[in-house]
Structure 1
Amino acid sequence: MAVNINIELFKRYAPKKKLEIINALTENELLAITNNTILRIIKEAGRGDSNKTRCKYKTLFLSDAGNNWNSKVTNIYNWKKDEVYLSVYIQGDDTDTYVTYKLRDFLDNRYEEQCLGHIEESFRNGYSHKKPANYNRADRARVIKAILTAYIECKYESKLKGNGKQENDEER
């Protein structure tokens, strides 16, 4: 039975149970996430620039979200008219850069291999080439899993730490 992450994520489960559900999701279930779900994630767990509750633009920082080759998604943020963007760090042989990419295009499942940006590298002999940051379905699923995990860890930070402390006390 396929799990609809757009519904299950916001049900009243314990944070550890939500993490177990996220870790058990298949690639297709992860890629079935909607833009509205991620926008809600950012609004609930993202951090604003001024740390005010009324801050409209928020950022959710990610860890371990990349293509295991030359790039990684460092954070996601919402911008004007609730458009969500990915901030992608691309590293080449002799240079690196940050690019932004729309989440709607990233979630588009029509393409097997998506290019989130590229670096223009040039050498002393005048030869130049573009080094793309390509993401296949497995890489995109890994990024979505990192987004969901960051949401749970940011929103339920105190509950996750509290549960870990109780378990360590019981073992002693």
Structure 2
Amino acid sequence: MTNVNTELFRRTAPVKKIEIIKNMTQDELLSISKETILRIVKETGRRVTGSRNYEFYVQPGRRKGNDWISVIEGIWLYKGKLSIITYIQVDDDAAASIIVPFNDFFKEGAFRGSIRSEDFYGNIQTNYFVYGKRAKAEVIRSFCIEFIYIKYKSKISEKIQVGV
């Protein structure tokens, strides 16, 4: 069983790291520690000007969600606390982003969230979204792959241009 907490930071070729991450099982991905996510955000996230806060966004093509109504956009580190940025498709023509505390999202079992919005006539509607184990593992996989693509951007683009 590969330990993702150490595998991400080893001195290995970036293409090999991506291959390892893509081949990890659900349990291996869910064993990632909060400290590893914190390190990912601090190393490759964008620092908010004039503060100690960081924002780590996943590119739209690599974002993962619950295959239904929502997708995870990234992670924020504000005032020392990690939060997950969740994009939710409310209606056909309405969408919203909400911030979910990291510990709440990755606690044991499925994460169940909701968002309240108004429909065309001003009636309050509640939309629900659920992230099970499989969806949470895919979210972690997208964070890890995005970390590799950001950190080793020049090395990966060279390999892709050469045809490896």
Q: What is the TM-score normalised by the length of structure 1?
A: 0.84
Name which one, 1 or 2, has greater alpha-carbon Rg: 1
Cα displacement (A) at 1:124: 3.8
| Deviations 1:53-72, CA, capped at 9 Å, x for gaps | xx522211113221111111
The answer to whether residue 114 in structure 2 is matched with residue 114 in structure 1 is: no
For the aligned residue pairs, the C-alpha RMSD in angstroms reads 2.0
Cα displacement (A) at 1:125: 9.1
| Deviations 1:83-120, CA, capped at 9 Å, x for gaps | 111111111125321110111222212x2x21233234
Percent of pairs identical after alignment?
32
Aligned to 1:84: 82
Give ranges in structure 1 of 5+ residues lacking alignment: none
Contact 1:96 1:119 in 2 (8 A): no
Distance 1:147 1:123, change over 3 A: same
Aligned to 1:6: 5
* Structure 1 Cα separation of the partners of residues 67 and 155 of structure 2: 31
| Deviations 1:23-63, CA, capped at 9 Å, x for gaps | 0111111111111100000011111234x9xx522211113
Aligned to 2:130: 134
Contact 1:92 1:121 in 2 (8 A): no
Contact 2:44 2:151 in 1 (8 A): yes
Amino acid at match of 1:21: I
SS of match in other structure, 1:3? coil
Q: What is the TM-score normalised by the length of structure 2?
A: 0.88
